[in-house]
Amino acid sequence: MRTMTPAHRPVLDDTTAGTVAVGDRRLRRLGFGAMRVAQARDRRGECGRDAAVELVLAVRDRGVQFFDTANIYGLGASEEILAAALAPYAEDVVVATKAGFQPGTLKPGQRMLPPRGRPEHIREDCEQSLRRLKTDCIDLYQVHVPDPGVPWAETVGAFADLQRTGKVRLIGVSNVTLDQLREAQRIVEVASVQNRYSVGDRRSETVLDACERDGIAFLPWAPMIGVEGRPVAPVVDGIAAARGASGQQVALAWLLQRSPSILPIPGTSQLTHADDNVDAAWLRLTDEELSRLDIARPVQGQP
C-alpha cells in the first residue's frame, strides 16, 4: 500500500519515477529547487522563515531526497532554511549548493550577477556555505557558472582542492557547454550537470546525451522557461487540459520520460505548487503526446 501524506497525496518511492545515480548515491528522480524558498508563504499567506521551513519539510514528507540551492539564493537565506528544516541530515538526503557568482542583488539593467570564479573566492564561498548549511562537508558542490575572466581549469581545480580536503564530497558543473564539461572531467569526476533545458528549450541536448553516456546526473533548471511563447506552448497546454494537469506538470513529466539521467529540480515558494510538482511524477505521457511535443519542438539552438 502506498504511504500517504496528511493531505492524502502519494509519497514518492524508488519506483515512482525511478532513481538516478548522483556520484555514489542513488536518488529518486524528482528533487526540489530552493531558489525561491526564502519567499515562501504559509497556508494563511504569511511570509517568513517558519513558512519556508514548513515548505521544505512538506516536500521532504512527499519523499523528495534531493535539494538544490546556491550561496546567492536569498543572499544565503536559502541555505540557512534548508539547514533549519533538514539538519542534521538523514542518510538518504542530499543537499547541493553552488558557488561562482558574486553574491549580491541585481542592479537596474543587470540580467545576472557578475561571475566570480577565482579559487580564493570559491574557497571563501565554500566556508560560508558550510556554516549556513550546518555541515562540515557539502554533499554536492557545483560550479554555478564559468567565469570568462578566469581559466576554467583554475575554477574547477579549486573545487577539486576542496574535495581533497574533505569539505566537498561530490562536484558538479552548471551552465556549461560540452567542451567545458569535457575539460572539467579531465580535472575531477563530475557527478552532475545543471543546465537550462526543457521541452521548449533543448539547446543542451548534446550535453544531456553526454551525461547519459557517462553516467552523470543531469539537473535541468526552470522546466517552463523556453515553453512560453514557443511553438510547443499550445501543445503543452492542450495536453495539460486533456489530462486535467498543469502545463508545469506536463513539462516535468516530459523531462522524466526524456532521459533516465534527468533529475528535475522544480522550485516554488508555494506549498500547493510544490505538491503539484511532486504529483507530476505519476503523470505518464503517451507515445502520441510525446510525438506531438517533439514535432512542435523549436529548432535546436533556437532560444
Domain contains 292:
no
Residue 240 lies in a domain: no
Q: What are residue 64's DSSP bridge partners?
A: none
pLDDT at 48 over 60: yes
The one catalytic residue in 73, 89, 141, 197 is: 73
Give every CB contact of residue 73 below 8 A, 6+ residues apart in sequence.
Answer: 34, 35, 36, 37, 38, 79
DSSP reduced 3-state for 258: helix
- Average pLDDT value for residue range 278-300: 91
197-247 confidence digits (pLDDT tens) = 999 999 999 999 999 999 999 999 988 877 877 889 999 999 999 999 999
Would 1 be classed as within a structural domain? no
Q: What is the pLDDT of residue 2?
A: 35
Q: Is 73 a catalytic residue?
A: yes
Residue 29 within a domain: yes
Task: Look at residue 11 and tell me if it is in a domain.
Answer: no
Distance of CA 232 to the CA centre of its chain: 22
DSSP code per residue over 118-161: -HHHHHHHHHHHHHHHT-SSEEEEEE-S--TTS-HHHHHHHHHH
Place of cell 506536463: 250
Q: Count each helix (H run) and each strand (E run) in the chain, helices first.
A: 10, 9
**CATH assignment of the domain containing 122:** 3.20.20.100
Closest C-alpha among 179, 214, 210 to residue 197? 210
Q: pLDDT band at 108, cuts 50/70/90?
A: confident
Q: Count how many domains the chain has.
A: 1
245 inside domain: no
The domain of 33 spans 19-230+255-284
Instruction: For residue 12, tell me if it sits in a domain.
Output: no
* SS3 state of residue 246: coil
